[in-house]
Amino acid sequence: MTLMTTSSETGFCTGNQTPGIASEKIYAEGTIFPLKIGMRQIKLSKTYTTKDREFSSFPLYDTSGPYSDPSIVTDPKKGLLPIRDTWGFNDGKTSPSNDSSLPVTIPVRNPLKAKEGVGITQMHYARKGVITPEMEYVAIRENQLLESRASSFHGNHNNAKPVTPEFVRQEIACGRAIIPANINHPELEPMIIGKNFRVKINANIGNSAMGSSIEQEVEKAVWACRWGADTIMDLSTGTSIHKTREWIVRNSPVPVGTVPIYQALEKVGGVSEALTWEVYRDTLIEQAEQGVDYFTIHAGILLEHLPYAEKRLTGIVSRGGSIMAKWCRAHKTENFLFTHFEDICRILKTYDIAISLGDALRPGSIGDANDEAQFGELKVLGSLTLVAWEHDVQVMIEGPGHVPLHLVLENMEKQLELCHEAPFYTLGPLVTDIAAGYDHINSAIGGALIASYGCSMLCYVTPKEHLGLPDKNDVREGVIAHRVAAHAADLAKGNHAAWLRDELMSRARYSFAWEDQFNLSLDPEKTREVYRQSMASSVNLNKNADFCTMCGPDFCSMKKSRELNG
């Protein structure tokens, strides 16, 4: 595959072909709209025969964006190309003049918004029966050019039917799936979040007051996509929030989410009690015009929940949640995100920003899991979902947190029941409190399980969770760990493309096709490097030999097993 190497001058990633990783960027085309959907096609070293088809190459779902296309020159200072502008679907939008006083160094276009009284959200169109370019895009993307091929899946549920644009439309119309796609993020390659689609993962990036530069954060974002993040959240706090976000959005091929209360809090000097609806509202509009695709909004935490939170082992561990709790307690007033929720929806619908209803009361320890505080808030999130849907605003629901394995299923069941099947987006869950340093593994365990039950997107956790801010390598470890989890859930749900990939990997393994194994794995560079080191550290051997250093030639079971069959 094409890899991004770091330019020593800017710290940014640019597309370069790395020798030895056999894949190429290909594009599928839309039939309704003039779309080009990028995929990573692996060139296999030979032809593999599955039940009803031969494969000499295999197309993968690709989140890396234009950075992995060697024919595209990217320049982080200019941003990515506005591909969505070329899809011919621009009705209903207008462009007021831009506020040029904002501190942005990247070229900024005039932001779009919906004309007064005109619906422009994906949910609006879906309910009207209209298929948008974004719907066709995600349908083709989900299929991975693998429609109607049989796989070896056996199980009760089978998602092997091809995804059609009409099916996407239906899922969005009923709120069971969302396409986060702000009309001011034209660089976006649309993706869909919902339980009848491929399980997605989010990578959090963003600086804190504790250091790290804008360049570092943009680089992390680009690399997170390269390793497999389906969305990124910019959780920056501290200085330069606006500028950091502008750089990230302009360079991001995946949806960008934020938690607007963080910036609002900076605007009032870090004092929770000083927050006002007006400051928050202006922050929403500022970010909306920049192109943020979804907002985490902690509108579900109410005064009535606070006594339950006080009984907890670890209180409130959501940053946004703790800010709103302080505000509510100080003013003895209901959460303004709740009382102004319809106002929020009216803003969001003019840009088609999805709401991610924040779980302010997610448990921060397994002892607090599934308690009154958590499920009390979840019920409110369910009622807010219905309010947002009245405005054709797309919604997903954020979930825990720390939950022991035996209580994971109840989380999924309650969410489906209380939130009307709006997509569930969970942080983990972490299945123990004591795995600091290894919390990416902890989270992958809970994440795989809840995704196999129907959770639509997993927020990654890195090895630094509970200890510090992730660096680039932590982002890699976090993303891949959750790709393992998401893929495991896709297999459990019968995702067709997932089964075919595993089948090819196993056929490659059984025939000692090492290069194909590297390329089909989730992290080809690492796999190849680990193998190379293992072989290098042993006696001089034919590097394409029919065994590996685990067993050596005499004890290779696969070799013996093949001899048996031959």
Question: Which residues from 97-156 bind its own copies, rule CB under 8 A?
Answer: 152, 154-156
State the Cα–Cα distance between residues 554 and 566, nearest whole angstrom.
17
Q: Could you tell me which residues are beta bridge partners of residue 42? A: 23, 58
| Region near its own copies per CB under 8 A, out of 18-26, 125-133, 287-295, 446-454 | 446-454
| 328 assigned binding-site residue | no
Judged by CB under 8 A, which of 2, 290, 442, 456 binds its own copies? 442
Strands 294-297 vs 354-357: parallel, antiparallel or unpaired? parallel
Give kind and range of the element (H or E) at residue 153: none
Q: Provide the minimum distance between the beta carbon of 518 and its own copies in the complex, in angstroms, as a whole number.
A: 8
State the Cα–Cα distance between residues 96 and 119, nearest whole angstrom.
17
Nearer to its own copies, 168 or 430 (CB): 430
- The residue among 116, 123, 122, 114 whose CA lies nearest residue 91 is 114
Q: Provide the minimum distance between the beta carbon of 141 and its own copies in the complex, in angstroms, as a whole number.
A: 19
Q: Provide the minimum distance between the beta carbon of 370 and its own copies in the complex, in angstroms, as a whole number.
A: 8
| 40 assigned binding-site residue | no
Name every residue whose Cβ is closer than 8 Å to that of residue 261 and which is 6 or more positions away in sequence.
275, 280, 297, 298, 320, 323, 324, 337
| Region near its own copies per CB under 8 A, out of 75-83, 273-281, 375-383, 439-447 | 439-447
State the Cα–Cα distance between residues 376 and 321, nearest whole angstrom.
14
Span 304-343, contacts to its own copies by CB under 8 A: 306, 309-310, 313-319, 321-323, 325-326, 329
| 318 assigned binding-site residue | yes
| 402 assigned binding-site residue | yes
Nearer to its own copies, 311 or 346 (CB): 311
Count of residues in contact with its own copies, rule CB under 8 A: 118
Which one-letter DSSP state was computed for residue 111? P
240 binds its own copies (CB under 8 A): no
513 binds its own copies (CB under 8 A): no
Span 369-408, contacts to its own copies by CB under 8 A: 370, 404-407
- The answer to whether the Cα torsion of 59, 61, 63, 65 is positive or negative is positive
Q: Provide the minimum distance between the beta carbon of 364 and its own copies in the complex, in angstroms, as a whole number.
A: 7
565 binds its own copies (CB under 8 A): yes
| Region near its own copies per CB under 8 A, out of 71-79, 295-303, 389-397, 448-456 | 448-456
11 binds its own copies (CB under 8 A): no
CA atoms lying within 13 Å on the CB side of residue 184: 30
Nearer to its own copies, 196 or 452 (CB): 452
Strands (E) in 400-505, as ranges, are 424-427, 457-459
| 455 assigned binding-site residue | no
44 binds its own copies (CB under 8 A): no
| 398 assigned binding-site residue | yes
| 360 assigned binding-site residue | yes
| Region near its own copies per CB under 8 A, out of 74-82, 118-126, 184-192, 462-470 | 462-470
Q: Where are the alpha helices (DSSP H) in 340-429?
A: 341-349, 372-390, 408-418
| Region near its own copies per CB under 8 A, out of 115-123, 169-177, 223-231, 551-559 | 551-559
438 binds its own copies (CB under 8 A): yes
Alpha carbon 129 to chain centroid, angstroms: 27
Quick note: the x/- pattern for its own copies over 201-230, rule CB under 8 A, is -------xxxx-------------------
Span 154-183, contacts to its own copies by CB under 8 A: 154-157
409 binds its own copies (CB under 8 A): no
| 541 assigned binding-site residue | no
What separation in angstroms does the CA of 77 have from each of 50, 217, 249, 258, 292?
Answer: 46, 14, 12, 21, 18
What are the tokens at 77?
């200072």
What separation in angstroms does the CA of 90 have from each of 84, 112, 262?
Answer: 9, 10, 32
365 binds its own copies (CB under 8 A): yes
Q: Could you tell me which residues are beta bridge partners of residue 396? A: 356
- The residue among 505, 473, 523, 492 whose CA lies nearest residue 216 is 473
Q: Provide the minimum distance between the beta carbon of 465 and its own copies in the complex, in angstroms, as a whole number.
A: 8
| 3-class secondary-structure state, position 192 | coil
Considering only CA atoms, give the Rg of the chain: 24
State the Cα–Cα distance between residues 225 and 74, nearest whole angstrom.
15
Q: Provide the minimum distance between the beta carbon of 553 and its own copies in the complex, in angstroms, as a whole number.
A: 7
Cα-Cα end-to-end distance for the chain: 34
| 280 assigned binding-site residue | no
Judged by CB under 8 A, which of 59, 253, 255, 364 binds its own copies? 364
| 551 assigned binding-site residue | yes
CB 211, CB 238: distance < 8 Å:
no
